[in-house]
Amino acid sequence: MPQTVYILYSPLVDRYLVGRTSNFDKVIERHNSGKNPHTKTGLPWKTVYRESFDSVEEAREREVEIKSSESREELAGFIRNDRNEV
């Protein structure tokens, strides 16, 4: 099943959110609906990075790689990456 690794950004709280899903549209809708207590304070969330993978394993590896970023500059490198589909 195809997977999407994504980075969302909230200008309101100046925060990034990294995740992985098989249904990207549903995830965006959920995060921007205000129903999730962890993300409702940052509305609206904007997609700043999106990359598709053919397998869960590949997507999981990429998600872990991004989440292990130690600085905003390193995270910005992922966002500027050529493979970014946004």
Question: From edge to edge, which strands make up the β-sheet containing 3-10?
Answer: 15-21, 3-10, 46-53
Helix (H, G, I), strand (E, B) or coil at 6: strand
What pLDDT was estimated at residue 81?
73
Give the integer Cα–Cα distance in Å for 51 and 6. Answer: 6
What pLDDT was estimated at residue 19?
96
Which amino acid, residue 7?
A: I
- pTM score of the predicted model: 0.90
Mean pLDDT to the nearest integer, 38-48:
95
Q: Where are the domains of the chain?
A: 3-80
What pLDDT was estimated at residue 77?
86
Torsion angle in degrees (nearest 10) through CA of 31, 27, 52, 2: 170
CATH superfamily of 3-80: GIY-YIG endonuclease (3.40.1440.10)
Task: Kindly tell me if the per-residue pLDDT of 12 is higher than 90.
Answer: yes
What pLDDT was estimated at residue 82?
59
Give the integer Cα–Cα distance in Å for 48 and 79. Answer: 6
More confident residue, 35 or 55: 55
> Where does the pLDDT of residue 25 fall: very low under 50, low under 70, confident under 90, or very high at 90 and above?
very high
User: Is there a contact between 21 and 27 (Cβ–Cβ < 8 Å)?
Assistant: yes
